[in-house]
Chains A and B, each alone.
Chain A
Amino acid sequence: MKDSEKKFTVSFTELECKSCKKLLTRKFEYGDIVFEENGACDQCEGNLLVVKIFGETIG
């Protein structure tokens, strides 16, 4: 494989606080599911909802 063909994808999860609507993006963790609650907001302690999971290709 040529160096130019070496690509890899990094997966991210975007979460939104259901109370203050703050958006947070972090690396994807196994078990993350879109539209399921996952943790608490560090600002208002509201429930965080996974709103997007996406991949970004690097290389």
Chain B
Amino acid sequence: MCTYLTERIAISGSAKGASGWFKVTDGSVYFDHPVHAPYGHTLNIDFLAPSQGPSARVAVELSAESARALMKAIEAVLDSAPPGLD
């Protein structure tokens, strides 16, 4: 199904797309049909810069298992980083 489920967040950082690096301001996280990955549904993340147009986008489509592994890895890295390194 088209799950429609979407979490939208404000983010701060940069991403590298087809035209090089750009500042990202928005993120979409959703579990829905992928465009490319060979699954019925994937955990999709879009890193976006709406002010620069629709093509200012870095997208990933991950299997549910991969997405959970990624979450754990991100948490582990952030938790082990020394405090005060922002």
Does B bind A?
Answer: no
B residues with a Cβ closer than 8 A to A are: none
A residues with a Cβ closer than 8 A to B are: none
